[in-house]
Amino acid sequence: MSTPLVYIDQNIIGLKLQGHINLSKRDDLKWVYSKEHFAEIKRADDPEKYLDVLNKIGAIMLDLILDENWKITGEARLIEGLTPFENYQNYIDAIGDVEFDETIFDPFQVWVNGGGDEGPLKELSDNFANQVLQLTSYLPYHTTEMTNKISAIKPEFDSMVDDLISNGNDIKKTRAAFGDEKGSIGCVSGEHQVAQIWDIISPTMAGSGISCDQFFGFDPINKQGYELWPLYLGIVGCNAVMDILGFQAEKKCRKISKIHNVRSDAGHIGMGAYCSAILSEDKRLVKRAKAIYEYKNIGTSPILIEKKANKSIQPTTNASAD
């Protein structure tokens, strides 16, 4: 029988640091983390204290397997033999080699979630053009053709942004357009929650030919070169859709200063799908993970860890989600 893999959310590391939870190296399971932790740790004031926790509990990094074209294969592997400190340094070195601004589309994501303002959104096409030119500046060919292509695309990009701004971003109107005028999606509970949400939305999709899988991002029409859309990307996309719909969504999804945390939550749920269980202190994350895993028949158990005043707890894999 294989050893259970238990994925720990970043907030679990925080609970350990605060003395609210006992975590230690164990023989009966493997604590697991991913590069998504590094994305969060990188934003912290003292990264080493988080890495030290991972190191002391013997946590192992789980990483997505890519093919020769750098596309996600749908499989993941454990990176054994390297400490969290070594893996983190490799991560920092890797992202340092490519000057990529991962926040470039934050204004768009925040806007469709009902937040943000027009200013950053209007700058999106210029920022995108500058990013592409910067990424291609080191390539061994003349960039005139690339510049011309970007110039040709920019008017369409600007037109899309103008339409977004013109339509506004009143999230209540957006949700009403999907058939949820009373906020029913936010109150969905029980079993088959994704199916319940689809029952509310599907009448507005009549005649479109869009399936539940397509709507929630698991089977996009444009697969960007993939024959089968990877489950990890589907889960991340599904989380973005749920933010718009208001299912276990948080106000931070409408704040440009917090949207990176929202993406991290989605990434943790995606990586947790490769494990036996995922632990988190975040009730919304646990409930959302439970709904997604149930819908896609994923065997991962989402487990809520609650902080108890003046009492430390030791999580076990047979705990149940809220």
44: domain CATH number? 3.40.50
In a domain, 202, yes or no: no
In a domain, 262, yes or no: no
Q: What pLDDT score does 98 carry? A: 66
Q: What pLDDT score does 1 carry? A: 54
Domain span holding position 22: 5-101+267-304
Q: In whole angstroms, what is the distance from residue 10 CA to residue 51 CA?
A: 11
Q: What pLDDT score does 8 carry? A: 98
Q: What pLDDT score does 214 carry? A: 97
Q: Name the domain boundary from 151, 167, 183.
A: 167
Are 72 and 126 contained in the same domain? Answer: no
pTM of the model: 0.89
Are 133 and 160 contained in the same domain? Answer: yes
Are 66 and 121 contained in the same domain? Answer: no
Antiparallel, parallel or unpaired: β 72-79 and 60-66 = antiparallel
Domain count, the chain: 2
In a domain, 318, yes or no: no
Are 82 and 141 contained in the same domain? Answer: no
Residue 25 carries which side chain, given as an amino acid letter?
K
Q: What pLDDT score does 26 carry? A: 95
Q: What pLDDT score does 160 carry? A: 87
Q: Backbone phi, then psi, for 178, in 5-degree steps?
A: -95, 10
Q: What pLDDT score does 172 carry? A: 93
Are 96 and 68 contained in the same domain? Answer: yes
Are 84 and 38 contained in the same domain? Answer: yes
In a domain, 208, yes or no: no
Are 95 and 144 contained in the same domain? Answer: no
Are 80 and 122 contained in the same domain? Answer: no
In a domain, 123, yes or no: yes
Q: What pLDDT score does 64 carry? A: 97
In a domain, 199, yes or no: no
In a domain, 41, yes or no: yes
Are 10 and 97 contained in the same domain? Answer: yes
In a domain, 229, yes or no: no
Q: What pLDDT score does 317 carry? A: 47
Q: What pLDDT score does 65 carry? A: 97
Q: In whole angstroms, what is the distance from residue 123 CA to residue 102 CA?
A: 15
Are 11 and 54 contained in the same domain? Answer: yes
Are 53 and 135 contained in the same domain? Answer: no
pLDDT in tens, the chain (322 residues): 589 999 999 999 999 999 999 999 999 999 999 999 999 999 988 999 999 999 999 999 999 999 998 899 999 999 999 999 999 999 999 888 666 677 888 888 999 999 988 888 888 888 888 887 777 766 666 667 767 777 788 888 889 889 889 988 899 999 999 999 999 999 999 999 999 999 999 999 988 999 999 999 999 999 988 999 999 999 999 999 999 999 999 999 999 889 999 999 999 999 999 999 999 999 999 999 999 999 999 999 999 998 765 554 555 544 333 3
